[in-house]
Amino acid sequence: MDSRRNNFFTRLRSDSGANWKKFLQHPFVVALGDASLPEQCFRYYLVQDFIFLFQFSRAYALAAYKSENIVQLRQAINSVKNIVDVEMNIHIEYCTEWGIDLDAVPLEVEDLATTAYTRFVLDCGHKGDLLDLATALIPCVAGYAEIGSSLENHPSTVRKDNPYLSWIEMYASAEYQKVAREAIAQLDELAVQRGGDARFKRLVEIFDQATKLETEFWQMGWDQRNY
């Protein structure tokens, strides 16, 4: 992710400051790396993340509707396919490995943290244009890539008998890093096309709110240690 340099995402990330740091270094994330995360926290997270991905695919479907040219349409469709055919399939495998009944997942209650973030993203897309929507989406896409890479290379990350190592490796993988770079490049293009500099203050507000909601998603899972 070092290739970000001074692109539009880096500027948003920089302005987010402490909020972005809290997202990247949340106790849930740290516990994934040192293998101390209670299993009930990860199980709850897995179920909610499956629900989350379903809603995120709807956001990219909205991006397809909002597209103004064939390039944007292809990008949106590819994102939907990546979520449905790759990420959701991986989550199905995780759920199976963790003994989660897949038939019961659709019956699970959507956590308020899941609802808050996904509906915020959809609302940004409905009210605004593709740049607003991409700004709301990018903390998740780029943030997970940064977290995966950071944990993969951190000296304190436990590798032997760490039940979360495969999760870390997935988001640190070359494939996912490529997805994140492409999303950042698309954000750059939209910022140029849609007057990102003139709208920067508002876009920072969107990015900041999305980052805070991402942090609350970690907190949702972390809170399950009390149950």
Q: How far from the centroid of its chain's Cα atoms is residue 46's Cα?
A: 13
How would residue 62 be classed by pLDDT, with cut points 50, 70 and 90? Answer: very high
Alpha-helical regions (H) of 35-173: 39-66, 70-82, 88-97, 112-127, 130-153, 165-172
C-alpha to C-alpha distance for 180 and 171, rounded to whole angstroms: 10
Instruction: Tell me the domains of the chain and their CATH numbers.
Output: 2-226 (1.20.910.10)
pLDDT surpasses 80 at 1: no
Total count of residues recorded for the chain: 227
Tokens of 156: 């304190």
Judged against a pLDDT cut of 50, whether residue 2 lies above it is answered with: no
Asked whether residue 105 carries a pLDDT value surpassing 90, the answer given is no
pLDDT, residue 100, reads 86
Across all residues in the chain, what is the average pLDDT?
A: 92
CA dihedral 221, 174, 77, 79 (to 10 degrees): 20
Both tokens assigned to 102: 């897949």
In this structure, of 105-114, 141-150, 201-210, the range with the lowest mean pLDDT score is: 105-114
Among the residue ranges 37-41, 107-111, 118-122, 137-141, the one predicted with the least confidence is: 107-111
Angle at 61 between CA 57 and CA 65, to 5 degrees: 165
- Give CA separation, 144 vs 29, 102, 133, 136, in Å: 10, 24, 18, 14
pTM of the model: 0.92
